Amino acid sequence: MNSQRWRVVGLMSGTSTDGIDVALVELATRGDGYHIRSVVSRTEPYSAALRRRLLAAAERTPISSADLARLHADLGLALARAVQRLGRRLSRIDLIGSHGHTIFHGPPGAGRGTPCTLQIGEAAIIAAHTGITTVADFRPADVALGGQGAPLVPHVHALLFRDRKRNRAVNNIGGISNVTYLPASARRAILAFDTGPGNMIIDAVTAAVTNGRLQFDLDGRLAAGGRVDTSILEILLRHPYLRRKPPKSTGREQFGGAFVEDFLRQAKRRRLPAADVVATATAFTAQSIGRAYRDFLGSVDEAYLCGGGSRNPTLMKMLKAELPRVKVGLTDDLGVDADAMEAIAFAVLAIECVRGRAAGIPAVTGAKRAAILGKIVPGTPESFRRLLEKMR
């Protein structure tokens, strides 16, 4: 296919449930890869009511089918409005890629029953309100083929960041932390998996110890003023997920409300000050990531971080201490905004879907074969026809 220019919006609602990351990406195909020309990004905070509903659903609070359907539609409308608020002419946008919001993730090995995953945020509503063809629901195809359905972004990391001389890790620290290992040698396989919690536990304990005054530890200030309780940290680091070999993925099912409540009970018994609780949670994230590098990755020359956790100086300091022989930076250093990386990734995955290119990596997820990821919902007839013509 000849070089093509694309204008695509990527939408990401992560496990932290703090808002919708929106990225308008202009890029061009370059051989099998892509060259990013420009990115306009922002985060649209959730209303307090919508955030409560999403968190409740993800924490397995009983919900009726009617309420789930309404939440699915309401989130779809919020995603559509996030696109509309970009303030650009929608007719100039080729495509939208929407991750949606995960409210349950039960891949192979996670429990009884048929492996499944559920992301909500109705794509038909996004397409109807914007008029733009929307690709969504990226995970089920991989799970249907026996894969973990996560992480999905390693394909994009490889397209954008693989280096022929250096072994690189690209580490997104959102609610969950996931790492992609990109060996310099093309003969070595890409490896990627969820290392464990990212900001999820830090955010939850911060909200708890401040009685909801803070929803996250801004600039890592609380943790910076506290001391790590090593006895509790040792208990946290015994979690069986951390010892499991990849492929593996996780979420609120293992590190959600029940885990946090147990952690807070231990902290209360030891009468830990609020800052010590947050410092211990931050150390748990840093050390679980460091352990994953040592236990499962090969030699790492450089690690580039993205996601909200990459903006936490205390977490970054702890992580650098865990990886003393690794050059640790941000994807900003490679020309890609660390805050927008995940949204950018789903913009690229949307293009890969409509181009008919498999983006699942069996060596990463454990799937039987590489899958084309995503489901396509056409926008207006005119915009969909333009997209089809572009693909010829």
Per-residue pLDDT tens digits for 96-134? 999 999 999 999 987 778 999 999 999 999 999 999 999
Residue scoring higher pLDDT (171 or 252): 171
What are 329's strand-pairing partners?
A: 304
What are 293's strand-pairing partners?
A: none
The answer to whether 5-149+340-391 and 154-334 have equal CATH topology is yes
Residue 260 pLDDT greater than 80, yes or no: yes
Distance, CA of 346 to CA of 99 (rounded, Å): 7
What's the mean per-residue pLDDT of the chain? 93
pLDDT in tens, 42-81: 999 999 999 999 989 988 788 999 999 999 999 999 999 9
> What proportions of the chain, in percent to the nearest 5, are helix, strand and coil?
45, 20, 35
Distance, CA of 330 to CA of 170 (rounded, Å): 9
What does the block give as tokens for 68?
């789930």
Contact present, 329 and 316 (Cβ < 8 Å): no
Residue 2 pLDDT greater than 70, yes or no: no
Distance, CA of 94 to CA of 277 (rounded, Å): 46
Residue 177 pLDDT greater than 90, yes or no: yes
CATH number for the domain running over 5-149+340-391: 3.30.420.40
Contact present, 19 and 45 (Cβ < 8 Å): yes
pLDDT in tens, 369-387: 999 999 999 999 999 999 9
Residue 227 pLDDT greater than 80, yes or no: yes
CA distances, 311 to each of 138, 216, 306, 379 (Å)? 27, 12, 8, 36
CA distances, 22 to each of 82, 235, 240, 320 (Å)? 7, 37, 35, 29
Give me the pLDDT at residue 1, please: 46
Give me the pLDDT at residue 376, please: 98
Residue 327 class from Cβ within 10 Å (0-12 exposed, 13-18 middle, 19+ buried)?
middle
Domain residue extents for the chain: 5-149+340-391, 154-334
Give me the pLDDT at residue 3, please: 76
Residues 6+ apart with CB under 8 A from 337: 23, 39, 41, 331, 344
CATH number for the domain running over 154-334: 3.30.420.40
Contact present, 183 and 190 (Cβ < 8 Å): yes
pLDDT in tens, 305-358: 999 999 999 999 999 999 999 999 999 999 999 999 999 999 999 999 999 999
Which one, of 5, 372, 376, lies nearest residue 155 by Cα? 372
Dihedral of CA atoms 279, 60, 58, 351 in degrees, nearest 10, equals 140
Give this prediction's pTM.
0.89
Residue positions counted in the chain: 392
